[in-house]
Amino acid sequence: MQNVEIASLGFPRIGRQRELKFAQEKYWRGELTQAELALVAKELRSTHWKWQAEAGVNLLPVGDFAYYDQVLTLSATLNAIPERHRDESESQSGKISLDTLFRVARGRAPTGKDAPAGEMTKYFNTNYHYIVPELTADQEFSVAFEQFFDEVEEAKAFGYKAKPVLLGPVSYLFLSKAVGSDFDKLSLLPKLIKTYADILVRFSAQGVEWVQLEEPILALELEADWQAAIASTYEALNDTSVNILLASYYGTVAHHQALISSLPVAGLHLDLVTAPKQLAVFAANLQAEQVISLGVINGRNVWAADIDVIAERIRPLVNDLPGRVWIAPSCSLLHSPVDLDVETELAPALKQQLSFAKQKLTELAQLQTLLSPPENCSNRAEVDAILATCVARREAREAAADKQVIDRVAALNSDDYERETEFAHRQTIQQQKFKLPLLPTTTIGSFPQTPAIRGLRSRWRKGEITETFYNDQLQQVTKDTVERQLKLGLDVLVHGEAERNDMVEYFGEQLEGVGFTQFGWVQSYGSRCVKPPLIYGDVSRPKAMTVEWAEYAQSLTDKPVKGMLTGPVTILHWSFAREDISREQIATQIGLAIRDEVVDLQNAGIGIIQIDEPAFREGLPLKKSDWEHYLNWAVDAFKLSAAGVTNETQIHTHMCYSEFNETIAAIAAMDADVITIETSRSRMELLTAFEDFEYPNEIGPGVYDIHTPNTPTVDEMVTLIEKAARKIPVRQLWVNPDCGLKTRTWDEVEPALKNLVQATKVLRRRL
Ligand code: GLN
Ligand code: ZN
């Protein structure tokens, strides 16, 4: 008999070789029948349940599997599907089909009529994207999709106890969007609760004992009406005969402690990885009989945990509350790669530091062993082996420290973060040097990644062509890209990034302290997965990464060609970062590595250098009260990367979004000479933040949306630039597209940029 139970909040569904992705895509292309797709799905569920059961999980999560997105599955279950995606029979029968689900997600499916897809957005501060539910003022709910119930039966048939896992009603409403008219979404809550209650009653009839309802919005600072909604919802659901495990994750919920502790729920799950301190306050306020689920293994990262340390931290509580403590990952394992065992090419030193979803279950089993009662002496050898592994892993980590990097960070002083002089002075010097016209034109960096370029790279990776041949070919592409820009008449050119597959991977592969897996995929949305680099050690740059490309491109023209780098904050956010030092420290190390590159570019004669930070905003903490701390270190990391140059060198940055209202002071503090942002879809509305702030440096507000293949007209762009010029002094403005052009074709790019240059000419005469 164990004194703690192992719980799982959910397992990744994609499969360790992305089986689900390939099956989905084949089904969409008509190469697989729906029954064949369902079979792949069923096999994946059975494998994942088996792994969890073998690790000692008693209540197997059901509902973590989704054909596209678990929020969308829930919308279908609740019959909250937009009319435009349904086929006629469904409006009558009140039942939703799988193809309807795919139509919501993708705008089309093998059957039925196409209709614009539902909006997709990031799930809290993760890189997982969910389909935003669309709710109308007169929205009705009913149980309309059987997947949850079918899967409960499926789990039972294997002899498992099923624990359905669902987003709770309040978070579901919060994440949804009001369409048609502007109404208070909370007005739908009573109806929604009723349907949730119906769902719980059906689960209960199936023999389900526990249901996990997730309310991740508790990690946010909620308005009073949303707090009240939490209270009334769980009061109302208390009538059903299943036990509710109320789960929160991604951050502390201690600011709602009184509310949460008063809810009539049978169990609470807490994320103790992002917020270890909240354990004490909740443990002290537990209700009689209430279960507490301790999320102690990081569900969002790839590193093996110090389970010896965790065991000692929670042992007192485990002893105090016999039978009432569960140990679990901090959140669903959805955000973690599936199985480390399939990695065959990792250096052993790195591999021993890692733990993917399947291994995290083993860690929980080991933690359970460490917590087993001392009188249970038979497992002494096992306990010793686990402890020895923990110690060895820590020692290896410490031994791998790069003293040079650590010393360099320690020696930094405030001057290292500042340019030689303030912007106004630099601006004059740069104007004299570059002599750019009013409204200089430029692009964001990448040009079309043609099938030829991708094919070349894949042959090179497979060793089918030599490095020399690969580089020669890419030089040709670069030359062609520069010539096209010259012909278009752009003022500041780029080399086009043909050598890059991905803006983080490219740098990760060249940095010390950063590694890669073969199969470390994580679902981003639908069938799309990403494979983030692993920042496992102290980061440094052994040698120049981009200088040859930049130098070559610059040698082809007298016009300035921008050097193109990814910034430290973005590299950090789009990687799996080590946890033994702070994110701030890691960002500083990467900042120094990028700084070295910036200085080398300058010394090679590159006068303008762009340091992209598209992920800057993504890193904002869930709670506003934590924003300042993040913004301070993120701004510093960027400044550190940029400040090594002379006044003459012009530093650009790029961010592809433009909600700057609350972060504008931080953006200004970055002190980039020029920032390019995405503003075309908001029709320059979002420039208002810069206007109100009287943003002093130069800005390139995007004048056309690169996400559509349509050619923007001269008139459209003239209007937008004029609009921008009413908000920002024209001497501060640049003209450029919203973002990089790598996903477009030359046939789309050339007419668009031709018009962009033309629009600028019109305005230079007019303004
Ligand atoms: N320089 C990069 C590009 O043009 C920027 C990409 C991005 O903003 N995500 O592709
Ligand atoms: Zn961008």
Q: How far is the CA of 756 from the centre of ligand 2 (A)?
A: 17
331 vs 333: CA distance, rounded Å? 6
Atom of ligand 1 nearest to the CA of 445: 4
Instruction: Please answer whether residues 230 and 241 qualify as being in contact, where contact means their C-beta atoms are separated by less than 8 angstroms.
Output: no
The reply to whether 707 belongs to the active site is yes
pLDDT attached to residue 289: 94
Ligand nearest to the CA of 613: 1
Q: Which amino acid is at 541?
A: R
Phi-psi region of 31 (alpha: psi -120 to 50; beta: other; left: phi over 0): alpha
Ligand 1 pocket, 562 CB below 6 A? Answer: no
Say if residues 310 and 273 touch (Cβ distance below 8 Å).
no
C-beta 609 within 6 A of ligand 1: no
575: Cβ contacts below 8 Å, ≥ 6 apart: 504, 508, 514, 532, 533, 534, 535
Say whether 100 sits in a helix, a strand or coil: helix
CA-wise closest residue to 437 among 765, 7, 63, 54: 765
Q: Does ligand 1 lie within 6 Å of residue 612's CB atom?
A: yes
Distance 72 CA to ligand 1 centre (A): 30
Choosing from 85, 129, 652, 707, which is the catalytic residue? 707
Angle at 4 between CA 285 and CA 580, to 5 degrees: 80
The protein residue with its alpha carbon nearest to ligand 1, atom 1, reads 445
Using an 8 Å Cβ cutoff, are 61 and 45 in contact? no
Token pair recorded at residue 640: 């550190």
- The mean-pLDDT minimum among 44-48, 179-183, 507-511, 736-740 falls in 179-183
Of 478, 530, 467, nearest to 504 (Cα)? 530
Compute the distance between CA of residue 116 and CA of residue 134 in angstroms, rounded to an integer: 13
Q: Which atom of ligand 1 is nearest to the CA of 444?
A: 4
Give CA separation, 469 vs 456, 459, 501, in Å: 9, 11, 18
Ligand 1 touching residue 446 (CB < 6 A):
yes
Residue with tokens 């041949």: 469
pLDDT reported for residue 376: 61
154, 48 Cβ separation under 8 angstroms: no
Mutate to test the pocket of ligand 1, among 497, 657, 675, 705 (most ligand atoms within 8 A of CB): 497
CA of 445 to the centre of ligand 1 (A): 6
Runs of H (alpha helix) within 296-436: 307-320, 348-351, 357-370, 380-399, 403-410, 423-434
Choose among 122, 70, 50: nearest CA to 334. Answer: 70
Residue 742 CB–ligand 1 contact under 6 Å: yes
Is the minimum distance from the CB of 503 to ligand 1 under 6 angstroms? Answer: yes
* Closest ligand to the CA of 610: 1
Any atom of ligand 1 within 6 Å of the Cβ of 656: yes
444 lines ligand 1 (CB under 6 A): yes
With a 6 Å cutoff on the Cβ, whether 617 touches ligand 1 is no
171 burial type by CB count under 10 A (0-12 exposed, 13-18 middle, 19+ buried):
buried
For the Cβ of 613 lying below 6 angstroms from any atom of ligand 1, the answer is no
Nearest CA to ligand 1 atom 9: 614
Which phi and psi (to 5°) does residue 671 adopt? 60, 35
**CA separation for the pair 687, 684 (Å, rounded):** 5
Q: Average model confidence (pLDDT) for the chain?
A: 96
Q: What is the pLDDT of residues 435-450, one digit of tens each?
A: 999 999 999 999 999 9
Q: Which pLDDT belongs to residue 377? A: 62
Q: Which residue owns the Cα nearest ligand 1 atom 6?
A: 740
Degrees (nearest 5) of the Cα angle 307, 60, 129?
80
Q: Indicate the helix (H) or strand (E) that contains 5.
A: strand 5-6
Q: What is the pLDDT of residue 296?
A: 98
236-240, 575-579, 701-705: least confidently modelled range:
236-240
Which segment of 67-71, 185-189, 292-296, 660-664 scores lowest on mean pLDDT? 660-664
Compute, in angstroms, the gap from residue 71 CA to the centroid of ligand 1: 29
| Separation of alpha carbons 183 and 748, rounded Å | 40
Per-residue pLDDT at 1 exceeds 70: no
Element (H, E) at 594: helix 583-603
Pick from 503, 574, 658 the residue to mutate for probing ligand 1's pocket: most ligand atoms within 8 Å of its CB.
503
152, burial (CB in 10 Å: exposed 0-12, middle 13-18, buried 19+)? buried
Binding-site residue positions: 18-21, 122, 127, 444-446, 497, 528-529, 574, 612, 618, 654, 656, 678, 739
Model-level pTM?
0.95
Q: Find out whether the beta carbon of 564 lies less than 6 Å from any atom of ligand 1.
A: yes
Distance of CA 243 to the CA centre of its chain: 32
Beta partners for 129?
122
- From the CB of 32, is ligand 1 less than 6 Å away? no
CA atoms lying within 13 Å on the CB side of residue 57: 29
State pLDDT tens for residues 513-562.
Answer: 999 999 999 999 999 999 999 999 999 999 999 999 999 999 999 999 99
Give the pLDDT confidence of 268-277 residue by residue, as tens digits.
999 999 999 9
Interatomic CA distance for residues 707 and 177, integer angstroms: 22
Average pLDDT over residues 202-210: 97
Give the number of other CB atoms < 10 A from CB of residue 41.
21
Q: What pLDDT is attached to residue 750?
A: 98
Instruction: Answer yes or no: is pLDDT of 164 > 80.
Output: yes
Cα of 654 vs centre of ligand 2, distance in Å, is 6
Q: How far is the CA of 751 from the centre of ligand 1 (A)?
A: 20
Residue 498: CB atoms within 10 Å:
25
Pairing assessment for the beta strands 608-612 and 650-655 based on DSSP bridges: parallel
Specify the residue with its C-alpha closest to ligand 1, atom 5. 740
Question: Which one, of 607, 606, 609, 653, lies nearest residue 634 by Cα?
Answer: 653
> Which ligand lies nearest to the CA atom of residue 567 in the structure?
1
Total residue length of the chain: 767
User: Which of ligand 1's atoms lies nearest the C-alpha of 614?
Assistant: 8
Q: What is the tens place of the pLDDT at every residue in 628-679? A: 999 999 999 999 999 999 999 999 999 987 688 899 999 999 999 999 999 9
**CB of 331 shorter than 6 A to ligand 1:** no
Token output for 134? 């669309």
Q: Looking at the CA of 740, which ligand is closest? A: 1
Asked whether 567 lines ligand 1 (CB < 6 A), one says no
Mean pLDDT along residues 325-330: 98
CA distance 249 to 272: 9
Distance (Å, whole) CA 639 – CA 697: 15
- Cα separation, 627 vs 622, in Å, equals 8
Most informative mutation of 443, 446, 490, 574 for ligand 1 (most atoms within 8 A of CB): 446
Q: How far apart are CA 515 and CA 505, in angstroms?
A: 10
Query: Residues forming the annotated binding site for 5-methyltetrahydropteroyltri-L-glutamate?
Result: 18-21, 122, 127, 528-529, 574, 618
Residue 390 is predicted with a pLDDT of: 98
- Asked if the model's pLDDT at residue 88 lies above 90, the reply is no
Cβ proximity of 690 and 699 under 8 Å: yes
**From the CA of 123, how far away is ligand 1's center (Å)?**
22
Specify the ligand 1 atom closest to the Cα of 610: 1
Is the Cβ–Cβ distance between 732 and 724 less than 8 Å?
no
Q: Is a pLDDT exceeding 80 seen at residue 374?
A: no
Whether residue 744 has its Cβ less than 6 Å from ligand 1: no
DSSP structure class, residue 351: H
Of 655, 739, 744, the residue with max ligand 1 atoms within 8 A of its CB, to mutate for a pocket test, comes to: 739
**CA separation for the pair 606, 596 (Å, rounded):** 14
Please name the residue whose Cα sits nearest to atom 3 of ligand 1: 740
Candidates 660, 683, 679, 672; CA nearest to 732 is 672
Q: How far apart, in whole angstroms, are the C-alpha atoms of residue 279 and residue 292? A: 9
pLDDT one-digit tens code per residue, 65-83: 999 999 999 999 999 999 9
Neighbours of 146 (CB within 10 A): 14
**Residue bearing the CA closest to ligand 1, atom 4:** 740
Ligand 1 centre and the CA of 176: distance in Å?
29
User: Is the pLDDT confidence value at 94 over 90?
Assistant: no
Q: 403 vs 399, 407, 466, 538, 658, CA distance in Å?
A: 10, 6, 36, 9, 39
What is the per-residue DSSP string for 184-231? -GGGGHHHHHHHHHHHHHHHHHTT--EEEEE-GGGGS---HHHHHHHH
What pLDDT shows up at residue 90?
A: 80
Interval between CA 496 and ligand 1 midpoint (Å): 10
Tell me the percentage of the chain whose pLDDT exceeds 70. 99
Measure 731 CA to ligand 1 centroid, in angstroms.
25
Query: Which helix (DSSP H) or strand (DSSP E) does residue 296 occupy?
Result: strand 291-297
Nearest Cα neighbor of 259 from 294, 224, 293, 284 is: 224
Contact between 690 and 664 (Cβ < 8 Å): yes
Long-range own/partner contacts, residues 259-262 (CB < 8 A, 24 or more apart)? 259/227, 259/230, 259/231, 260/218, 260/230, 261/285, 261/286, 261/287, 262/231
> What is the Å distance from ligand 1's center to 444 Cα?
6
Tokens linked to 683: 């029709």
- Annotated binding-site residues for L-methionine read 444-446, 497, 612
The H or E element that residue 356 is part of is: none
Per-residue DSSP letter, 526: T
The span from the CA of 145 to the CA of 305, in Å, is 39
Angle between helices 467-488 and 547-555 (to 10 degrees): 50
